């Protein structure tokens, strides 16, 4: 759908430009004279229209190379949004707070973006948790695997997996890695997974520690 939308918009704008040129010719406007006569004016206002022109050029780039398409999920500077509409000058996106934001197209071509759905609708995510040093490592990994396999909205192909990441200052740190197609609302899936982990840990007397410091006083 995203590529079809981009092609449709590009063709639409091209037809509009051609129609304007043909219309001016039909009404007797000599475009070469008009352009030559307005050259000085264009130079004068060029600086003022620089940002606007940059947005238009960026819009053409987005429509041509399809690096960003409608329904893509983007992330930039911590903001996660889904693309709803790409126009010649601006792009409309929807945030996870269900707020619509209108962005200048130059923001999308100049800034670094993460396109979570550029080549595939699925992306990998992770949820981390630490347990007490007295915990049985194999049992913890089994419970984490149980939690992720029971969770709705998490794909079982590719198969999720659990990793023992490190010996932390106050805990043994694990992470669950999983794939989901619900990229835009994946924080909901993470929250549900954390709740299930907490329930399983409580049922099996697995403790999630808090940071502690031991202070020795010399007398």
Write down the pTM of the prediction: 0.69
**CB-based contact 86:70 (threshold 8 Å):** yes
Residue 174 predicted with pLDDT over 70: yes
The token pair that represents 107 in the structure block: 């923001």
Query: 98: how many CB neighbours lie within 10 A of its CB?
Result: 6
**In sequence order, what are the residues at sequence separation of 6 or more whose Cβ sits closer than 8 angstroms to the Cβ of residue 84?**
70, 92, 93, 94, 100
Q: Under a CB-based contact definition with an 8 Å cutoff, are residues 11 and 64 in contact?
A: no
And the tokens for 70? 């409608």
Judge if 2-115 and 123-203 fold alike in CATH terms.
Answer: no
For the segment(s) 2-115, the CATH number from 3.40.50.300, 3.30.479.30, 3.20.20.70, 2.30.30.60 is 2.30.30.60
Q: What is the pLDDT of residue 126?
A: 97
Mean pLDDT value across residues 170-193 = 95
- Determine the topology of domain 123-203 in CATH: Alpha-Beta Plaits (3.30.70)
User: What CA–CA distance (Å, rounded) separates 140 from 148?
Assistant: 13
At 48 the pLDDT is 53
Q: How do the domains of the chain map onto residue ranges?
A: 2-115, 123-203
Other CB atoms within a 10 A radius of the CB of residue 108 amount to 24
Kind and range of the H or E run holding 59: helix 50-65
Closest CA to 130 of 211, 200, 208: 208
Backbone angles phi, psi at 156, to 5 degrees: -100, 0
d(CA 92, CA 102): 5
* pLDDT tens-digit map of 10-53: 566 667 767 766 666 676 666 565 555 555 555 554 555 677 77
The two structure tokens encoding residue 139: 């049992």
Tell me the per-residue pLDDT of 74-86, one tens digit each, with 9 for 90 and over. 998 889 999 999 9
- Residue 47's H or E segment, with its range, is none
């Amino acid at each position: 759908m995203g590529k079809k939308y981009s092609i449709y918009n590009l063709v639409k704008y091209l037809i509009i430009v051609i129609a304007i040129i043909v219309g001016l010719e039909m009404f007797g406007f000599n475009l070469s004279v008009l352009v030559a006569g307005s050259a000085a004016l264009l130079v004068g206002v060029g600086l003022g229209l620089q940002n606007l022109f940059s947005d238009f050029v960026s819009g053409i780039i987005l429509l041509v190379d399809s690096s960003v398409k409608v329904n893509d999920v983007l992330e930039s500077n911590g903001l996660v949004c889904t693309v709803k509409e790409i126009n010649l000058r601006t792009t409309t996106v929807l945030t996870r707070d269900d707020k619509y934001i209108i962005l200048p197209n130059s923001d999308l071509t100049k800034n670094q973006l993460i396109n979570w759905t550029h080549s595939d609708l699925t992306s990998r995510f992770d949820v981390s948790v630490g347990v007490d040093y007295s915990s049985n490592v194999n049992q913890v990994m089994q419970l984490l695997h149980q939690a992720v396999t029971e969770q709705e909205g998490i794909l079982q192909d590719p198969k999720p997996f659990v990793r023992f990441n490190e010996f932390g200052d106050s805990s043994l740190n694990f992470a669950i890695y999983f794939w989901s197609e619900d990229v835009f609302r994946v924080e909901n899936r993470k929250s549900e997974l954390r709740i299930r982990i907490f329930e399983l840990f409580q049922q099996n007397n697995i403790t999630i520690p808090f940071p502690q410091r031991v202070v020795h006083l010399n007398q």
